[in-house]
Structure 1
Amino acid sequence: MHSEHRAFGRAELTIRILAFAGLSGAGKSTAIAQLVAAGAGTNYYVGDFLTREIEARGLVRSPDTERVLRARLREEQGMAVFAERAVAEIATKAAGLFFLDAICCPEERDCYRASFGDALSVIAMEASFETRAERLAIRPKRPLHADQLAARDALEIDRFRIGEVIAEADHRFVNEGTLEELEQALRSLHARIGG
Protein backbone atom coordinates (compact mmCIF):
# COMPACT_ATOMS: atom_id res chain seq x y z
CA MET A 1 0.00 0.00 0.00
CA HIS A 2 1.32 3.42 -0.86
CA SER A 3 -0.02 6.91 -1.24
CA GLU A 4 1.11 10.03 -2.94
CA HIS A 5 1.09 13.58 -1.64
CA ARG A 6 -0.13 16.14 -4.15
CA ALA A 7 -0.54 19.86 -3.71
CA PHE A 8 -3.65 21.13 -5.46
CA GLY A 9 -3.35 24.85 -4.79
CA ARG A 10 -4.02 24.37 -1.07
CA ALA A 11 -2.75 22.23 1.80
CA GLU A 12 -1.18 18.94 0.75
CA LEU A 13 -3.58 16.03 0.55
CA THR A 14 -3.03 12.31 0.81
CA ILE A 15 -5.32 10.79 -1.78
CA ARG A 16 -5.48 7.23 -3.08
CA ILE A 17 -7.49 6.41 -6.22
CA LEU A 18 -8.68 2.98 -7.31
CA ALA A 19 -9.99 3.65 -10.80
CA PHE A 20 -12.20 1.01 -12.39
CA ALA A 21 -12.29 0.31 -16.12
CA GLY A 22 -14.28 -2.13 -18.22
CA LEU A 23 -17.09 -2.39 -20.71
CA SER A 24 -20.66 -1.63 -19.66
CA GLY A 25 -22.10 -4.31 -17.42
CA ALA A 26 -18.72 -5.71 -16.31
CA GLY A 27 -19.64 -4.85 -12.73
CA LYS A 28 -17.70 -1.64 -12.03
CA SER A 29 -20.52 0.17 -10.22
CA THR A 30 -21.54 -2.97 -8.35
CA ALA A 31 -17.97 -3.54 -7.20
CA ILE A 32 -17.62 0.04 -6.04
CA ALA A 33 -20.98 -0.08 -4.23
CA GLN A 34 -19.78 -3.16 -2.32
CA LEU A 35 -16.50 -1.48 -1.37
CA VAL A 36 -18.28 1.67 -0.22
CA ALA A 37 -20.85 -0.35 1.76
CA ALA A 38 -17.94 -2.07 3.53
CA GLY A 39 -16.61 1.35 4.54
CA ALA A 40 -13.51 1.03 2.40
CA GLY A 41 -13.68 4.47 0.76
CA THR A 42 -15.77 6.95 -1.22
CA ASN A 43 -17.44 6.47 -4.61
CA TYR A 44 -16.66 9.04 -7.29
CA TYR A 45 -18.90 8.56 -10.33
CA VAL A 46 -17.43 10.38 -13.34
CA GLY A 47 -20.71 9.88 -15.26
CA ASP A 48 -22.27 12.58 -13.08
CA PHE A 49 -20.55 15.14 -15.30
CA LEU A 50 -22.45 13.78 -18.31
CA THR A 51 -25.73 13.76 -16.36
CA ARG A 52 -25.25 17.40 -15.37
CA GLU A 53 -24.40 18.33 -18.96
CA ILE A 54 -27.55 16.59 -20.25
CA GLU A 55 -29.65 18.48 -17.71
CA ALA A 56 -27.94 21.81 -18.46
CA ARG A 57 -28.73 21.38 -22.16
CA GLY A 58 -32.35 20.45 -21.45
CA LEU A 59 -31.99 17.05 -23.12
CA VAL A 60 -33.94 13.89 -22.30
CA ARG A 61 -31.66 11.30 -20.73
CA SER A 62 -31.44 8.06 -22.71
CA PRO A 63 -28.67 5.70 -23.81
CA ASP A 64 -28.64 7.35 -27.24
CA THR A 65 -28.48 10.87 -25.78
CA GLU A 66 -25.63 9.84 -23.49
CA ARG A 67 -23.72 8.21 -26.35
CA VAL A 68 -24.05 11.20 -28.67
CA LEU A 69 -23.27 13.83 -26.06
CA ARG A 70 -20.34 11.85 -24.61
CA ALA A 71 -18.80 11.64 -28.09
CA ARG A 72 -19.53 15.31 -28.86
CA LEU A 73 -17.92 16.55 -25.63
CA ARG A 74 -14.82 14.47 -26.29
CA GLU A 75 -14.61 15.78 -29.86
CA GLU A 76 -15.03 19.39 -28.70
CA GLN A 77 -12.93 19.34 -25.53
CA GLY A 78 -10.60 16.36 -25.94
CA MET A 79 -10.76 12.72 -24.98
CA ALA A 80 -9.75 13.45 -21.37
CA VAL A 81 -12.52 16.02 -20.76
CA PHE A 82 -14.26 13.97 -18.05
CA ALA A 83 -10.98 13.07 -16.34
CA GLU A 84 -9.90 16.71 -16.30
CA ARG A 85 -13.18 17.69 -14.63
CA ALA A 86 -12.87 14.82 -12.16
CA VAL A 87 -9.29 15.73 -11.22
CA ALA A 88 -10.32 19.33 -10.55
CA GLU A 89 -13.20 18.16 -8.35
CA ILE A 90 -11.25 15.48 -6.48
CA ALA A 91 -8.60 18.10 -5.73
CA THR A 92 -11.18 19.88 -3.56
CA LYS A 93 -11.86 16.76 -1.46
CA ALA A 94 -10.32 15.77 1.82
CA ALA A 95 -7.69 13.08 1.89
CA GLY A 96 -8.90 9.52 1.52
CA LEU A 97 -9.49 6.52 -0.69
CA PHE A 98 -11.66 7.17 -3.75
CA PHE A 99 -13.17 4.56 -6.07
CA LEU A 100 -13.36 6.14 -9.50
CA ASP A 101 -16.19 4.96 -11.75
CA ALA A 102 -14.79 4.85 -14.44
CA ILE A 103 -11.89 5.25 -16.85
CA CYS A 104 -13.08 4.97 -20.46
CA CYS A 105 -10.02 5.68 -22.63
CA PRO A 106 -6.22 5.86 -22.47
CA GLU A 107 -6.27 9.67 -22.42
CA GLU A 108 -8.35 9.62 -19.23
CA ARG A 109 -6.02 7.11 -17.61
CA ASP A 110 -3.02 9.24 -18.59
CA CYS A 111 -4.67 12.37 -17.14
CA TYR A 112 -5.29 10.60 -13.82
CA ARG A 113 -1.77 9.14 -13.83
CA ALA A 114 -0.25 12.59 -14.45
CA SER A 115 -2.33 14.06 -11.62
CA PHE A 116 -2.12 11.29 -9.03
CA GLY A 117 1.02 9.34 -9.96
CA ASP A 118 1.56 6.21 -7.90
CA ALA A 119 -1.55 7.02 -5.83
CA LEU A 120 -3.58 5.68 -8.79
CA SER A 121 -4.29 2.00 -9.41
CA VAL A 122 -6.33 0.99 -12.45
CA ILE A 123 -8.63 -2.00 -11.88
CA ALA A 124 -9.99 -3.69 -15.03
CA MET A 125 -13.16 -5.73 -14.74
CA GLU A 126 -14.13 -8.13 -17.50
CA ALA A 127 -17.21 -10.20 -18.31
CA SER A 128 -18.59 -11.83 -21.45
CA PHE A 129 -21.04 -10.02 -23.70
CA GLU A 130 -23.80 -12.47 -22.70
CA THR A 131 -23.27 -11.92 -18.98
CA ARG A 132 -23.14 -8.15 -19.41
CA ALA A 133 -26.26 -8.11 -21.60
CA GLU A 134 -28.20 -10.10 -18.98
CA ARG A 135 -27.12 -7.73 -16.22
CA LEU A 136 -27.88 -4.56 -18.15
CA ALA A 137 -31.29 -5.72 -19.34
CA ILE A 138 -32.48 -5.85 -15.72
CA ARG A 139 -30.46 -2.95 -14.32
CA PRO A 140 -32.93 -0.61 -12.61
CA LYS A 141 -31.03 2.57 -13.48
CA ARG A 142 -30.19 3.15 -17.15
CA PRO A 143 -30.96 -0.36 -18.51
CA LEU A 144 -29.62 -1.32 -21.94
CA HIS A 145 -30.90 -3.82 -24.48
CA ALA A 146 -28.42 -6.14 -26.21
CA ASP A 147 -28.41 -4.05 -29.41
CA GLN A 148 -27.69 -0.88 -27.41
CA LEU A 149 -24.91 -2.69 -25.56
CA ALA A 150 -23.37 -3.88 -28.83
CA ALA A 151 -23.39 -0.31 -30.16
CA ARG A 152 -21.86 1.00 -26.94
CA ASP A 153 -19.18 -1.73 -27.00
CA ALA A 154 -18.27 -0.80 -30.56
CA LEU A 155 -17.94 2.86 -29.62
CA GLU A 156 -15.88 2.14 -26.49
CA ILE A 157 -13.61 -0.39 -28.21
CA ASP A 158 -13.13 1.27 -31.61
CA ARG A 159 -13.29 4.97 -30.82
CA PHE A 160 -12.38 5.24 -27.13
CA ARG A 161 -9.90 2.31 -27.13
CA ILE A 162 -11.04 0.95 -23.76
CA GLY A 163 -9.27 -2.31 -24.65
CA GLU A 164 -5.91 -0.57 -24.17
CA VAL A 165 -6.89 0.55 -20.67
CA ILE A 166 -8.09 -2.96 -19.78
CA ALA A 167 -4.97 -4.64 -21.20
CA GLU A 168 -2.61 -2.24 -19.40
CA ALA A 169 -4.48 -2.10 -16.07
CA ASP A 170 -2.56 -2.54 -12.85
CA HIS A 171 -5.00 -5.29 -11.79
CA ARG A 172 -7.51 -7.32 -13.81
CA PHE A 173 -10.20 -9.76 -12.88
CA VAL A 174 -13.04 -11.57 -14.56
CA ASN A 175 -16.48 -10.98 -13.06
CA GLU A 176 -18.64 -13.85 -14.31
CA GLY A 177 -19.69 -15.26 -10.94
CA THR A 178 -22.04 -14.46 -8.09
CA LEU A 179 -22.15 -11.33 -5.97
CA GLU A 180 -20.56 -13.33 -3.16
CA GLU A 181 -17.63 -14.28 -5.42
CA LEU A 182 -17.26 -10.65 -6.44
CA GLU A 183 -17.25 -9.60 -2.79
CA GLN A 184 -14.49 -12.11 -1.99
CA ALA A 185 -12.39 -10.92 -4.94
CA LEU A 186 -12.85 -7.30 -3.85
CA ARG A 187 -11.85 -8.07 -0.26
CA SER A 188 -8.67 -9.65 -1.57
CA LEU A 189 -8.01 -6.72 -3.92
CA HIS A 190 -8.59 -4.15 -1.17
CA ALA A 191 -6.29 -6.05 1.20
CA ARG A 192 -3.52 -5.98 -1.43
CA ILE A 193 -3.76 -2.41 -2.70
CA GLY A 194 -6.52 -0.51 -0.92
CA GLY A 195 -6.41 2.56 1.28
Structure 2
Amino acid sequence: ATNTSTPVVLMGYANPIERLGLPSFARQAKAAGVDGVLVVDYPPEEAAPFSQAMKAEGLDPIFLLAPTSSDERIRQVAQLASGYVYYVSLRGVTGAGHLDVAAVAEVFPRLRAHLSLPIGVGFGIRDAASAQAVAKVADAVVIGSALVQLVERAGPDNAALVLRDFLAGIRKALDGQET
Protein backbone atom coordinates (compact mmCIF):
# COMPACT_ATOMS: atom_id res chain seq x y z
CA ALA A 1 0.00 0.00 0.00
CA THR A 2 2.92 2.39 0.58
CA ASN A 3 5.34 1.30 -2.16
CA THR A 4 4.19 2.89 -5.40
CA SER A 5 7.47 2.51 -7.30
CA THR A 6 7.86 -1.28 -7.47
CA PRO A 7 5.75 -2.63 -10.34
CA VAL A 8 3.39 -5.51 -9.63
CA VAL A 9 2.93 -8.01 -12.47
CA LEU A 10 0.41 -10.83 -12.34
CA MET A 11 1.36 -14.02 -14.14
CA GLY A 12 -1.25 -16.68 -14.74
CA TYR A 13 -3.64 -18.40 -17.09
CA ALA A 14 -6.52 -17.22 -19.27
CA ASN A 15 -9.30 -19.31 -17.70
CA PRO A 16 -9.92 -17.20 -14.57
CA ILE A 17 -9.60 -14.00 -16.60
CA GLU A 18 -12.09 -15.25 -19.16
CA ARG A 19 -14.54 -16.14 -16.37
CA LEU A 20 -14.46 -12.58 -15.07
CA GLY A 21 -14.39 -11.07 -18.55
CA LEU A 22 -11.47 -9.04 -19.85
CA PRO A 23 -12.85 -5.57 -18.97
CA SER A 24 -13.88 -6.63 -15.46
CA PHE A 25 -10.55 -8.36 -14.81
CA ALA A 26 -8.62 -5.32 -16.04
CA ARG A 27 -10.62 -2.95 -13.81
CA GLN A 28 -10.18 -5.19 -10.75
CA ALA A 29 -6.46 -5.67 -11.41
CA LYS A 30 -5.94 -1.92 -11.76
CA ALA A 31 -7.92 -1.26 -8.56
CA ALA A 32 -5.71 -3.80 -6.74
CA GLY A 33 -2.54 -1.93 -7.75
CA VAL A 34 -1.41 -4.22 -10.55
CA ASP A 35 0.80 -2.68 -13.25
CA GLY A 36 1.08 -5.49 -15.80
CA VAL A 37 -0.34 -8.88 -16.68
CA LEU A 38 1.38 -11.85 -18.32
CA VAL A 39 -1.00 -14.62 -19.38
CA VAL A 40 0.99 -17.64 -20.45
CA ASP A 41 -1.75 -19.16 -22.61
CA TYR A 42 -2.73 -16.07 -24.62
CA PRO A 43 -0.74 -16.49 -27.82
CA PRO A 44 -0.18 -13.17 -29.58
CA GLU A 45 -2.16 -14.41 -32.59
CA GLU A 46 -5.29 -14.43 -30.40
CA ALA A 47 -4.45 -11.75 -27.83
CA ALA A 48 -5.55 -8.44 -29.39
CA PRO A 49 -8.68 -8.23 -27.16
CA PHE A 50 -6.56 -8.98 -24.07
CA SER A 51 -3.99 -6.34 -25.02
CA GLN A 52 -6.67 -3.73 -25.70
CA ALA A 53 -8.50 -4.42 -22.42
CA MET A 54 -5.30 -4.16 -20.39
CA LYS A 55 -4.14 -0.98 -22.11
CA ALA A 56 -7.60 0.59 -21.68
CA GLU A 57 -7.05 0.39 -17.90
CA GLY A 58 -3.41 1.51 -18.06
CA LEU A 59 -2.03 -2.00 -17.53
CA ASP A 60 0.88 -3.45 -19.46
CA PRO A 61 0.13 -6.63 -21.40
CA ILE A 62 3.33 -8.65 -21.19
CA PHE A 63 4.14 -11.52 -23.53
CA LEU A 64 6.52 -14.44 -23.63
CA LEU A 65 9.00 -15.12 -26.41
CA ALA A 66 11.18 -18.20 -26.69
CA PRO A 67 14.15 -19.53 -28.65
CA THR A 68 11.63 -21.06 -31.06
CA SER A 69 9.71 -17.81 -31.69
CA SER A 70 9.51 -16.85 -35.34
CA ASP A 71 10.15 -13.34 -36.62
CA GLU A 72 6.40 -13.08 -37.29
CA ARG A 73 5.58 -13.91 -33.67
CA ILE A 74 8.17 -11.40 -32.45
CA ARG A 75 6.53 -8.73 -34.67
CA GLN A 76 3.09 -9.64 -33.28
CA VAL A 77 4.35 -9.33 -29.71
CA ALA A 78 5.93 -5.96 -30.57
CA GLN A 79 2.50 -4.76 -31.74
CA LEU A 80 0.60 -5.96 -28.66
CA ALA A 81 2.98 -5.72 -25.70
CA SER A 82 3.89 -2.88 -23.43
CA GLY A 83 6.00 -2.68 -20.29
CA TYR A 84 8.48 -5.37 -21.20
CA VAL A 85 8.78 -8.73 -22.96
CA TYR A 86 9.72 -11.89 -21.08
CA TYR A 87 12.21 -13.98 -23.03
CA VAL A 88 12.29 -17.64 -21.97
CA SER A 89 16.00 -18.38 -22.20
CA LEU A 90 15.84 -22.08 -22.88
CA ARG A 91 13.74 -24.91 -24.13
CA GLY A 92 12.29 -27.10 -21.43
CA VAL A 93 10.57 -26.53 -18.13
CA THR A 94 10.94 -23.75 -15.61
CA GLY A 95 13.65 -24.42 -13.08
CA ALA A 96 15.83 -26.30 -15.55
CA GLY A 97 19.49 -25.70 -14.91
CA HIS A 98 21.11 -25.66 -18.33
CA LEU A 99 21.22 -21.94 -19.17
CA ASP A 100 23.30 -21.07 -22.24
CA VAL A 101 24.03 -17.35 -22.00
CA ALA A 102 25.83 -17.36 -25.36
CA ALA A 103 22.64 -18.66 -27.02
CA VAL A 104 20.64 -15.91 -25.31
CA ALA A 105 23.11 -13.27 -26.52
CA GLU A 106 22.92 -14.67 -30.07
CA VAL A 107 19.16 -14.16 -30.32
CA PHE A 108 19.13 -10.60 -28.95
CA PRO A 109 19.94 -8.85 -32.26
CA ARG A 110 16.93 -10.59 -33.83
CA LEU A 111 14.70 -9.58 -30.91
CA ARG A 112 16.00 -6.01 -30.95
CA ALA A 113 15.29 -5.74 -34.68
CA HIS A 114 11.58 -5.91 -33.84
CA LEU A 115 11.26 -4.83 -30.20
CA SER A 116 11.90 -1.47 -28.59
CA LEU A 117 10.57 -2.63 -25.21
CA PRO A 118 12.89 -3.81 -22.44
CA ILE A 119 13.53 -7.56 -22.53
CA GLY A 120 13.67 -9.55 -19.32
CA VAL A 121 15.26 -12.98 -19.46
CA GLY A 122 14.17 -15.87 -17.27
CA PHE A 123 14.38 -19.67 -16.94
CA GLY A 124 17.59 -21.30 -15.78
CA ILE A 125 18.82 -18.35 -13.70
CA ARG A 126 19.69 -19.98 -10.39
CA ASP A 127 22.47 -17.99 -8.76
CA ALA A 128 24.45 -14.76 -8.74
CA ALA A 129 26.82 -15.88 -11.50
CA SER A 130 24.04 -16.76 -13.96
CA ALA A 131 22.13 -13.56 -13.09
CA GLN A 132 25.25 -11.49 -13.69
CA ALA A 133 25.94 -13.20 -17.03
CA VAL A 134 22.37 -12.69 -18.27
CA ALA A 135 22.35 -9.06 -17.10
CA LYS A 136 25.20 -8.35 -19.51
CA VAL A 137 22.86 -8.98 -22.48
CA ALA A 138 19.34 -8.41 -21.10
CA ASP A 139 17.48 -5.43 -19.67
CA ALA A 140 16.21 -7.47 -16.71
CA VAL A 141 16.83 -10.79 -15.01
CA VAL A 142 13.86 -12.93 -13.94
CA ILE A 143 14.36 -15.45 -11.16
CA GLY A 144 11.40 -17.61 -10.19
CA SER A 145 11.95 -21.30 -9.60
CA ALA A 146 15.15 -20.80 -7.63
CA LEU A 147 13.25 -18.59 -5.17
CA VAL A 148 10.41 -21.07 -4.83
CA GLN A 149 12.89 -23.89 -4.19
CA LEU A 150 14.69 -21.85 -1.54
CA VAL A 151 11.40 -21.14 0.26
CA GLU A 152 10.43 -24.82 0.14
CA ARG A 153 13.77 -25.89 1.62
CA ALA A 154 13.92 -23.13 4.24
CA GLY A 155 10.42 -23.53 5.59
CA PRO A 156 8.18 -20.76 6.89
CA ASP A 157 10.37 -19.79 9.83
CA ASN A 158 13.56 -19.27 7.82
CA ALA A 159 12.29 -18.32 4.35
CA ALA A 160 12.63 -14.55 4.74
CA LEU A 161 16.23 -14.80 5.94
CA VAL A 162 17.22 -17.28 3.25
CA LEU A 163 15.63 -15.15 0.52
CA ARG A 164 17.24 -11.99 1.89
CA ASP A 165 20.69 -13.58 1.79
CA PHE A 166 20.15 -15.07 -1.67
CA LEU A 167 18.85 -11.81 -3.12
CA ALA A 168 21.67 -9.83 -1.49
CA GLY A 169 24.11 -12.00 -3.44
CA ILE A 170 22.16 -11.42 -6.65
CA ARG A 171 22.06 -7.66 -6.03
CA LYS A 172 25.80 -7.59 -5.35
CA ALA A 173 26.50 -9.49 -8.59
CA LEU A 174 24.21 -7.26 -10.63
CA ASP A 175 25.89 -4.19 -9.22
CA GLY A 176 29.15 -5.57 -10.64
CA GLN A 177 30.83 -6.62 -7.44
CA GLU A 178 32.57 -9.91 -6.84
CA THR A 179 30.29 -12.72 -5.70
Task: With the length of structure 1 as denominator, give the TM-score of the two structures.
Answer: 0.30
Which has the larger share of helix?
1
Task: With the length of structure 2 as denominator, give the TM-score of the two structures.
Answer: 0.32
Q: Which has the higher contact order (CA 8 A, sep 6+)?
A: 1
